[in-house]
């Protein structure tokens, strides 16, 4: 195998691996809700949930709309409904690990 072919194969494999490591929407939602559990601003949530600013804005508005988060005075906080989602999500992950 030539060096060019070897590099091309390596890139294909790393590309495949990056897709395997991508988070699902549910995982991202859980990360955002966890980041805002005690209250946090948009920047802190983006950093802790490992999202860019545009994506975090979309998730925050969606979660507020669904009642999983509340937004007051520039701070986002996970609601009781959001904490219930996190508990159920953790249970589901545990069940699927077995």
To the nearest whole percent, how much of the chain has pLDDT over 90? 74
Q: Residue 2 — very low, low, confident or very high, per pLDDT cuts 50/70/90?
A: confident
Distance CA 85, CA 63 (A): 11
pTM of this prediction?
0.78
What are the residue boundaries of the structural domains of the chain, listed by start?
A: 23-97
- 4: tokens are 């060019």
Q: 23-97, which class in CATH?
A: mainly alpha
To the nearest whole percent, how much of the chain has pLDDT over 70? 83
Give, in degrees to the nearest 5, the angle at Cα 25 between 20 and 29.
125
pLDDT on residue 97: 86
Lowest mean pLDDT among 3-7, 20-24, 83-87: 3-7
**Residue 74 near residue 82, CB atoms below 8 Å:** no
Q: Find, among 27, 20, 37, 19, the residue nearest to 93 by Cα.
A: 27
28-50 pLDDT, tens digit each: 999 999 999 999 999 999 999 99
Positive or negative: CA dihedral 75, 81, 84, 88: negative
């Amino acid at each position: 195998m030539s060096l060019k072919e070897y590099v091309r194969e390596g890139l294909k494999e790393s590309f495949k691996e990056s897709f395997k490591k991508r988070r699902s929407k549910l995982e991202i939602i859980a990360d955002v809700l966890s980041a805002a559990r005690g209250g946090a601003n948009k920047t802190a949530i983006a950093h802790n949930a490992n999202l860019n600013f545009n994506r975090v804005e979309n998730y925050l508005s969606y979660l507020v709309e669904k009642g999983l988060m509340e937004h007051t005075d520039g701070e986002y906080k996970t609601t009781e409904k959001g904490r219930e989602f996190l508990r159920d999500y953790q249970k589901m992950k545990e069940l699927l690990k077995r």
